[in-house]
Amino acid sequence: MSTLIDRYLLREFLPPFALNLVFFTFVFLMTRILEITNMVVNYRIGLGAVALMLVYATPRFLEFVVPMSVMMAILLTLLRLSGDNEIVALKAGGISVYRLLLPVMTFALIGCLITLLITLWAAPRGRLALKGLVAQATRATDLSLVLKERTFNDAFDGVMLFVSRIDPGTRELRDVFIEDRRHRPLKIAIVAPRGRLVAEAGNNAYHLELFGGTVHRVDLAGRTADTIGFESYEVALKVKPSRAAVAAPPSEDEMGFAELGRWIDSLPPDDQRYFSARLAWHQKLAIPAACLCLGFMALPLGIQSRTARRSFGLGLGLASFLAYYLLLSAGKILGEAGYLTPVVGMWLPNAVSAAFGFWLMARAARERPVQWRLWPMR
| 331-358 residue pLDDT tens | 999 988 888 999 999 999 999 999 999 9
pLDDT value of position 247: 45
Residue 86 sits at the vertex; the CA angle it makes with 83 and 90, to the nearest 5 degrees, is 145
**118 lies in some domain:** yes
175: left (phi over 0), alpha (psi -120 to 50) or beta: left
Count of the separate structural domains present in the chain: 2
Radius of gyration of the chain from its Cα atoms, rounded to whole angstroms: 29
Of 238, 259, 287, the one marking the end of a domain is: 238
| 232-283 residue pLDDT tens | 999 888 776 544 444 456 788 888 888 999 999 998 888 878 888 999 999 9
**Measured between alpha carbons, how far is 190 from 178 in angstroms, rounded to an integer?**
5
Residue 182 is given by DSSP the state S
Average pLDDT, whole number, for the chain? Answer: 85
Q: Is the distance from CB of 297 to CB of 356 less than 8 angstroms? A: yes
Measured in residues, the chain has a length of 378
258 and 134, same structural domain?
yes
**Measured between alpha carbons, how far is 156 from 42 in angstroms, rounded to an integer?**
15
| 195-229 residue pLDDT tens | 988 877 655 678 889 999 999 998 877 788 899 99
pLDDT value of position 130: 87
**194 lies in some domain:** yes
The residue among 222, 2, 246, 234 whose CA lies nearest residue 101 is 2
**110 lies in some domain:** yes
Of 206, 238, 270, the one marking the end of a domain is: 238
pTM for the model stands at: 0.74
**27 lies in some domain:** yes
179 phi and psi, to 5 degrees?
Answer: -110, 115
List the domain range (segments joined by +) for residue 351.
2-139+250-365
180 phi and psi, to 5 degrees?
Answer: -105, 115
Of 204, 238, 272, the one marking the end of a domain is: 238
DSSP per residue over 265-287, as a string? Answer: HTS-TTSHHHHHHHHHHHHHHHH
